[in-house]
Structure 1
């Protein structure tokens, strides 16, 4: 597949994620996807992947990505931007706050035969927790 086709697949996957459209997402994600996301360093298979997506959608029902950079090389696509949403559901044990949050995100997705087979996503969890009012203590 071309670099532009790989970018399109990845961007369509994020659009589906932002809409909470699991069925569309399943057409773009390989059944044996592996990866790492906020709160989980060992994501394996579509069930785990979509469990994470559903958790984020429940916590931020209006959440969406805005990407400043979309870079493709070989079979990898890097997206860099922000995730923005209103905290309306529980997130990692934190009850809904009603606060709107914006935090930076960087993702690396690997595409093979038109499907995302690896996803490595990191959000600025420290900024997110601060915006949610979580007290961070580093013992310093």
Structure 2
């Protein structure tokens, strides 16, 4: 039986590790260890693993609002194929959209419900929930609960999303009071 014996020289090594871990920049707070796990996943193979990882990173971005997840998931030439009016093309488009949406719904949560991968395509279903207490356009929130689904189809090249086609549940706009 081996008994652990305290060695003073080990303590200084542990102390150095502890101090260094406190100095890690905040940007490193968003890591792949923080990625959401899909409730359902289909088509996971060694050939689709990098594509699924990109989809999980992008889902983590929508769930947390941390731009570093979007930057890790999206190619520099990212194209939104269903670009909403007023949103810029490229990775900055979703980042600005997330910032605006989080200003309206500060407690926004996006759960990754389903992932289906085939070749260079990944389909995801996201479930968004939160409380509309901020402002969206000209509409001021009154504490309404929001609960809606979104479906995205990604094209992934070299582990980065290059193209996205997406549909959001129209109930979101009803819950925000933007349409009847």
Per the normalisation by structure 1, the TM-score is 0.81
Higher relative contact order (CA 8 A, sep 6+): 1
Distance 2:147 2:73 in 1: 26
RMSD, matched Cα: 2.3
1:53/1:76 CA distance change after superposition, 3 Å: same
More strand by share: 1
Shift of 1:54: 1.5
**Cα deviation digits, residues 56-99 of structure 1 (max 9, x gap):** 22222221222332101111110124211111222233212211
> 1:130 is matched with which residue?
174
- Secondary structure of the residue aligned to 2:148 is strand
Bigger shift: residues 42-51 or 106-115: 42-51
- Secondary structure of the residue aligned to 1:44 is coil
Distance 1:56 1:32 in 2: 23
Distance 2:83 2:177 in 1: 18
Shift of 1:8: 1.8
> 2:109 is matched with which residue?
64
Whether contact under 8 Å (2:139, 2:177) holds in the other structure is no
- Secondary structure of the residue aligned to 2:177 is coil
1:58/1:37 CA distance change after superposition, 3 Å: farther
Distance 1:17 1:112 in 2: 21
Q: How many residue pairs were aligned?
A: 135
Whether contact under 8 Å (1:32, 1:45) holds in the other structure is yes
Bigger shift: residues 110-119 or 127-136: 127-136
- Secondary structure of the residue aligned to 1:45 is coil
Whether contact under 8 Å (1:36, 1:42) holds in the other structure is no
